[in-house]
Amino acid sequence: MHIFCIFALRHENGLHPLKLLLMNLNAEFIERTETLFGKAVYDRFAQALDEEPVVSIRHNELKHFSGIDGDNVPWTSLGCYLAERPAFTADPLFHAGCYYVQEASSMFLEQVVRQFVTSPVRALDLCAAPGGKSTHLHSLLPEGSMLVSNEPMPLRAQVLAENVIKWGRASALVTKNEPADFASFRNFFDFVLVDAPCSGEGMFRKDSFAVEQWSVPNVRQCAARQREIVADIWESLRPGGLMVYSTCTFNREENEDCVEWIAGNLGAEVLKVDVTDEWGITGSLTIKGLPVYRFIPGFTRGEGLFMALLRKDGDASLAQPRMPRLKVADKRVKEEVGRWLREPGMFDFVMSGETVVAMPKEHTAAMMALCQKLRVLHCALPLAEAKNNKLLPLHQLAMSVELEPSAFRRVEVERDKALAYLHREALLFADEPVGHLLITYKGVPLGFVKNIGNRANNLYPAEWRIRKNPLEL
């Protein structure tokens, strides 16, 4: 999670590149970082700060489209560098969840998952907003896994939910909780990612606020908060389970020192991830032989990142929650909404108020347990609202990779009309039948309209709409 410990907001997407002159850097930062890196490494890093940051995206492999060409990010099969930053807001495929704009270094998470997670897991991304690593995990985790994406800050949690929904997986939950709120879920997760709030040193060339707010006291405050976060969530990770600890900063207090503290005080083994020398990843700068992975601009093609993988001491099975009493959908409802899914037999159909929700059968009990005790913004796959004895399809269904392609009348539109739809304008489909139509662009669903003949009601979520006039994009 890229957020300062003083809780100032930043974003992974939409920041304009910022060229930093060395005179803007805090003198204490320069001294500390040069001591940590060594002069030769620091000089190369300092030169890189005055260069334009790279732009990279990661494809959604389950939403097939023509793609965006670029050089491959070497440590992931799903990412590529772009020659320049396009206007992502003007691309309907971006809004459809076909790709995610993510910093390239963060995609190193793929190596951890590919090398160590070989069977289905129950996973938690604890500090998940805006959703870069969460959406990546959805692409990486073995089939049959479940992922909880959590963010305590309300506005950021809403952005997280939007991005997770657009990615389209049914095995997803989005929660809005503090780490301590998970205390009752002892041994509940096999895999926990803590992308911890940090001082943001690794993002200096992209974010002027990070430069302005840096101080030694803030570094120390961040380090203390990071230990508190890990300690709060530790009991929720089963013994033998894996924790990824990461930051977007360089200093040892928030990185090596914190990893050592976790291993020594909470009980864990730091695991070695296989890497290739050509990637330019730097190991520990303070403890010889400690298997940690630091990305430094000037040496790797991306922004600053630190990552370590730990295995919790001991061995214990995953906690299995009791199946609660469910308000299941009746036969008629199940038959109707079942026709909207590729594999309806894989799901339980549950009523949440007037909403019909499809939950993966292997995770229904776990999902319901989480919904009962946490603040849940999104759970599994909401399919429809039951109103006046009718079932009205929801936008989450349009975004889902579980959608049966033939379930709704599909209307292919060109870019201008797609942007008008995403702007939530009223559209006209006079030659199409009355009822719900699925709007597609380059074959990819964008969402629903309800065609009533003389006009069509635009059902794109109001809070997601493109705010700028499409004619200006």
Residues 195 and 337 in one domain: no
Is cis: bond before 130, omega within 30 of 0? yes
Euclidean distance between CA atoms 469 and 473, whole angstroms? 7
The answer on 126 and 88 residing in a single domain is: yes
User: Domain range holding 437?
Assistant: 408-473
Confidence band of 66 (pLDDT split at 50, 70, 90): low
Lowest-confidence segment of 8-22, 81-95, 254-268 by average pLDDT: 8-22
CATH number at 197 reads 3.40.50.150
Please enumerate in sequence order all residues whose Cβ is within 8 A of that of 331, keeping only pairs 6 or more positions apart, or say none.
Answer: none
Question: 167 and 218 share a domain?
Answer: yes
> Residue 6 — very low, low, confident or very high, per pLDDT cuts 50/70/90?
very low
Last residue of a domain, one of 312, 344, 360: 312
Mean pLDDT of 341-353: 96
Do 112 and 235 lie in a common domain? yes
Instruction: Clarify whether residues 307 and 338 are in a common domain.
Output: no
Residues 84 and 217 in one domain: yes
Confidence of residue 461 (pLDDT cuts 50, 70, 90): very high
CATH number at 412 reads 3.10.450.720
Residue type (1 letter), 223: A
Cα–Cα dist 130/158, whole Å: 9
Q: What is the pLDDT of residue 453?
A: 85
Q: Are residues 303 and 342 in the same domain?
A: no
State whether 328 and 464 are in the same domain.
no
pLDDT over threshold 50, residue 17: no
Same domain, 164 and 292: yes
Say if residue 260's pLDDT is above 90.
Answer: yes
Mean pLDDT of the 342-362 span: 97
Q: What is the mean pLDDT of residues 188-215?
A: 93
Q: Are residues 287 and 328 both part of a single domain?
A: no
Q: Which of 98, 248, 258, 371 is catalytic?
A: 248
Give yes or no: residues 432 and 327 share one domain: no
Amino acid 1: pLDDT: 43
Q: Are residues 116 and 178 in the same domain?
A: yes
In a domain, 15, yes or no: no
Alpha helices in 89-215 (DSSP H): 92-95, 109-116, 132-140, 154-167, 208-213
Query: Is 443 contained in some domain?
Result: yes
pLDDT at 193 over 70: yes
* Catalytic residue status for 248: yes
Nearest CA to 171 out of 130, 194, 129, 137 is that of: 137
Percentage of residues of the chain with pLDDT beyond 70: 95
The alpha helices in 243-315, defined as continuous H runs, are 256-261
Specify the number of domains making up the chain: 3
Global pTM reads: 0.94
308 HSE (CA, 13 A, CB side): 26
Closest CA to 29 of 45, 50, 52: 45
